[in-house]
């Protein structure tokens, strides 16, 4: 802006600048896509004013905030959309569909104001998807972004049908309780893969080849990922660290310290040899609930601990 004014006069000639300072025509498909995404976000804002369900409002706002990051990516900024992001949208769709059931046939928008406004937002997103296909020609947009836009259209459709379901059945409170139950924080395989990927990237930066093991809250192995050239022994050690962290509801380092004259004095391996007192295993917790366990093996004890704690922080951040 010029001083504190809202106009700059910079776009008067029909050109604008991307994040990387490239001059580009306002008729370019990239600019058209950015404008359509802005229209989509604003349409969601209007729809949100008609919604009185707290969970739905929260999810709509999450989409709006995500669109800010995606618009920056489209404008030439850092890539933020991965296949994991597509999986997150698919998981949200499944959660809503679990409450309201399958959809069959065509719908006539307008059962209530909230769903009607959401259907308008959906059609705007469909238009953004079509523009993205045009803008993505010759590699200007990554294919995963097109997949993300496609799933996002489906998600907004689910939002609208969810609102119709509440309106038609007068089940606002009951449905809200169902959604709260479904949306209880949980460790999914998709999230486990994300955690493992994040740890692998950090390990590569540290020059390490490690094995990552993730167990569910019942100590059952969910995921075992071995980086190239990791120690063979690390596969079993990582699993045992994850098992120990869940079983004792504490990090393996804490268990080690407590076994030396503390409340776990004398603790050793069980008959099944699954408990292990080596640093690098941590429980995956949200507040006071243990939802799983994570074990990392392949570096020094200090390095394994650093990577495991990094994975635990990633997990907590994704669920908050």
- Name the residue among 228, 205, 224 with its Cα closest to residue 215: 224
Task: Judge if 15-182 and 189-319 fold alike in CATH terms.
Answer: no
Residues 6+ apart with CB under 8 A from 263: none
- The share of the chain scoring above pLDDT 90, in percent, equals 56
Distance between CA atoms of 260 and 176, rounded to whole angstroms?
49
148-197 tens-digit pLDDT: 999 999 999 999 999 998 888 765 544 555 555 555 667 888 889 999 99
**pLDDT tens per residue, range 133-150:** 988 877 789 999 999 999
Dist. CA 216–CA 222, nearest whole Å: 6
Q: What is the pLDDT of residues 277-306, one digit of tens each?
A: 899 999 999 878 899 999 999 999 999 999
Give the pLDDT score at 269.
47
Give mean pLDDT, residues 221-249: 94
**How does DSSP assign 145-208, residue by residue?**
HHHHHHHHHHHHHHHHHHHHHHHHHT-HHHHHHHHHHHTS----HHHHHHHHHHHHHHHHHTT-
pLDDT of residue 266: 57
Confidence of residue 58 (pLDDT cuts 50, 70, 90): very high
Identify the pLDDT of residue 137: 79
- What is the three-class DSSP state of 305? helix
User: What is residue 271's predicted lDDT score, i.e. its pLDDT?
Assistant: 39
User: Cβ contacts of residue 10 below 8 Å, gap of 6+?
Assistant: 16, 17
Q: Which residue has the higher pLDDT, 8 or 202?
A: 202
pLDDT reported for residue 116 = 96
pLDDT, mean of residues 99-127: 89
pLDDT range class, residue 265, cuts 50, 70, 90: low
Q: Is the pLDDT of residue 132 over 90?
A: yes
Sequence-ordered list of residues with C-beta below 8 angstroms from that of 82, at least 6 positions apart, any chain: 144
Q: Is the pLDDT of residue 57 over 80?
A: yes
Q: Which of 73-77, 84-88, 169-173 has the lowest mean pLDDT?
A: 169-173
| pLDDT score for 52 | 87
* pTM exceeds 0.85, yes or no: no
3.30.450.150, 3.40.190.10, 1.10.260.40, 1.10.3470.10: which CATH number matches 189-319? 3.30.450.150
- CA atoms of 307 and 313, how far apart (whole Å): 10
The helix/strand/coil state of 15 is strand
What local confidence, expressed as pLDDT, does residue 1 receive?
Answer: 42
Average pLDDT over all residues of the chain: 85
pLDDT band with cut points at 50, 70 and 90 for residue 41: very high
Q: What is the predicted pLDDT for the residue at 251? A: 94
Q: What is the C-alpha end-to-end distance of the chain, expressed in Å?
A: 35
Task: Note the CATH architecture for domain 15-182.
Answer: Up-down Bundle (1.20)
Average pLDDT over residues 247-270: 76
Q: Where along the chain do its domains lie? A: 15-182, 189-319
Q: What percent of the chain has pLDDT over 70?
A: 82
Looking at residue 86, what is its pLDDT?
92
Contact 236, 211 (CB under 8 A): no
């Amino acid at each position: 802006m010029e001083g504190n004014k809202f106009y700059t006069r910079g776009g008067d000639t029909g050109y604008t600048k991307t994040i990387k300072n490239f001059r580009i025509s306002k008729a370019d498909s990239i600019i058209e896509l950015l404008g359509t995404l802005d229209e989509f976000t604003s349409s969601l804002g209007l729809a949100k004013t008609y919604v009185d369900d707290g969970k739905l409002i929260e999810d709509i706002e999450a989409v709006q905030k995500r669109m800010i990051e995606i618009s920056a990516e489209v404008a030439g900024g850092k890539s933020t959309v991965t296949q994991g992001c597509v999986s997150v949208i698919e998981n949200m769709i499944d959660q809503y569909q679990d409450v309201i059931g399958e959809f069959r046939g065509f719908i006539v928008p307008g059962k209530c104001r909230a769903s009607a406004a959401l259907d308008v937002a959906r059609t705007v997103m469909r238009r953004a998807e079509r523009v993205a296909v045009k803008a993505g020609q010759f590699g200007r947009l990554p294919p995963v972004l097109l997949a993300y836009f496609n799933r996002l259209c489906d998600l907004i459709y689910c939002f609208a049908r969810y609102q119709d379901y509440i309106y038609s059945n007068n089940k606002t409170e009951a449905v809200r309780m169902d959604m709260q139950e479904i949306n209880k924080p949980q460790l999914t395989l998709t999230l486990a893969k994300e955690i493992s990927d994040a740890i692998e990237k950090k390990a590569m930066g540290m020059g390490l080849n490690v094995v990552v093991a993730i167990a569910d809250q019942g100590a059952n192995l969910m995921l075992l990922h071995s980086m190239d050239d990791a120690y063979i022994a690390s596969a079993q050690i990582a699993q045992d660290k994850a098992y120990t962290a869940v079983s004792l509801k504490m990090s393996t380092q804490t268990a080690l310290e407590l076994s030396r004259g503390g409340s776990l004095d004398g603790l050793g391996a069980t008959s099944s040899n699954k408990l292990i007192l080596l640093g690098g295993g941590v429980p995956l917790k949200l507040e006071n609930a243990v939802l799983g366990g994570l074990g990392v093996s392949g570096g020094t004890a200090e390095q394994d601990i650093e990577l495991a704690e990094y994975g635990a922080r990633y997990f907590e951040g994704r669920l908050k």
